[in-house]
Structure 1
Amino acid sequence: MGRAILAWLILLSLAICPIKSNTIFLYKSCNKTLYPQLCYVYLSPFISRIGTSPRLLAQTALAATLSTTRSTSKNLTIYSRTHKITKRESGALQDCLEEISDSAYELHISMVEMGKVRSGSDFLFNMNSIETWVSAALTDDDTCTDGFSAKSMNGELKNVVRKQKLLATNGTMVFKTKWRYQHSMS
């Protein structure tokens, strides 16, 4: 009898305070990523939109990553125009911009693919396709900073790209642990 009352009270409190259940869902989901605090900071503004939907969480995580990737590209472009850098640094920066542009494209395609996912015979194909695109974006992010060996490029610029890489890693983990798992069980 006591357990039934407790269960009823919990259900009632969740109905009265849906934001709390959304917060718990996001908190638990972000705790499964490599960078939980970063995950929570970037996704908490969308908590009412996400609710407790693994699909919306995965879409929002990838959208936040794509937005940050595009912002990173703009910041790198501005940096290249406003800072005096050597010819070698300029080449490394141009290579990085190309990689970040590729990453943005691949994240965009992964979101398009996510919209195509339905249960059925193509499910695994679509899921693997999304993982492939996101993995390619992560590889591009890693490759971006390979040429950043000069002191000026190793600090400020690497930090800008690193933040974007961390978000991409989190977005991938949210996709794999929440949405893919939920859909593979249905």
Structure 2
Amino acid sequence: MQSFTCSKLPPHNGLGAIITLFLFSFFTSVTITCSAKPHLKSSNTEFIKTSCAETLYPELCYKTLKPYASLIHTSPMELANASLTISLKGAQSASNMVKNLSKQHNLSPKEASAIMDCVETMGDSVDDLQQSLVAMEGLDGPDFAIKMSDIQTWVSAALTNEDTCMDGFSREKGMNRKIKVIIRRYIVKVSKLTSIALAFINRLSSA
């Protein structure tokens, strides 16, 4: 069968209108195809927007998840998966940044200690999120509740580790302000992303 795009539909005046009526049944399927794609796209993004509105950080949530709309569709499971993946990537990036800072030679003893503590806690956070993603791949079966409980524990632990890293810099006085700003910019965002992922996981668990 010959395919048509939306721009090739006949005009709705004169002879074109007669042809349109005559071929109405043929063009019905084409019209549906043309309108379905934007409708589905709108439904996917609306699902993400509505879901993000129930998190603590709706704007960040929507901004980071919207590019994954075609993968998420309207699936709570895929939403949680995508959110967890984004959180892991952010944690890995933050962990690498802190490791690079720890290699600087002009750090005071307090700064070096706080950064090394942060290296450890962010490494733990990455491990927790990685375990969670692996567990998300095998949620089918009678042990769903047990696996979901493990995932919730790991993601909660990741969030605690990220907060611990930031607290180490908040408590210490007289530290390099530039280092504090850099650490805070990375860790705070990761903490928010992890909070969003945990919200979707908790919702999935209670569904």
Partner of 1:101: 123
User: Which range moved further: 147-156 or 94-103?
Assistant: 147-156
Q: Where does residue 201 of structure 2 map in the other structure?
A: 175
Q: TM-score, normalised by structure 1?
A: 0.84
Which residue, out of 35, 40, 48, partners 2:70? 48
Partner of residue 6, structure 1: none
Q: Which amino acid aligns with 1:134?
A: V
Write the deviation string for residues 111-135 of structure 1: whole angstroms up to 9, x where unpaired. Answer: 1111121142x11111101101111
Larger Rg: 2
List gaps (5 residues or longer) in structure 1.
1-11
Match of 1:63 in 2: 85
Of 163, 168, 176, 1:147 maps to: 168
Q: Comparing both structures, which one devotes a greater share of its residues to helix? A: 1
Aligned partners of 2:117, 2:35: CA distance in 1, in Å?
A: 50
Counterpart pick for 2:51 among 29, 46, 70: 29
Partner of 2:140, secondary structure, is: coil
Matching residue of 2:60: 38
Which SS does the other structure have where 1:161 is aligned? helix
Q: Could you tell me how far 1:83 is from its partner in structure 2?
A: 7.1
C-alpha distance in structure 2 between counterparts of 1:95 and 1:77, whole Å: 11
1:137 is aligned, of 158, 161, 164, to 158
Instruction: State the distance in 1 between where 2:167 and 2:42 align.
Output: 43
SS in 2 for 1:116: coil
Q: For each residue in 1:85-135, what CA deviation from the matched residue of structure 2 results, as whole angstroms up to 9, or x when unmatched?
A: 212101110110110010000000011111121142x11111101101111
Asked whether the 8 Å contact 1:14–1:20 carries over to 2, the reply is: no
1:35 offset after TM fit, Å? 0.2
Pair 1:139–1:91, CA change in 2 (3 A): same
Q: TM-score, structure 2 length as denominator?
A: 0.76
Runs of 4+ deviating beyond 6 Å: none
The answer for unaligned runs of 5 or more in structure 2 is: 1-31
List aligned pairs for 1:73-92, cutoff 5 A. Answer: 73-82=95-104, 84-92=106-114
> Which residue does 1:4 correspond to in 2?
none
Instruction: Work out the number of aligned pairs and report it.
Output: 169
Checking the alignment, whether the CA contact within 8 Å between 2:101 and 2:115 is kept in structure 1 is: no
The amino acid of 1:167's aligned partner reads L
The answer for the alignment partner of 2:140 in structure 1 is 118
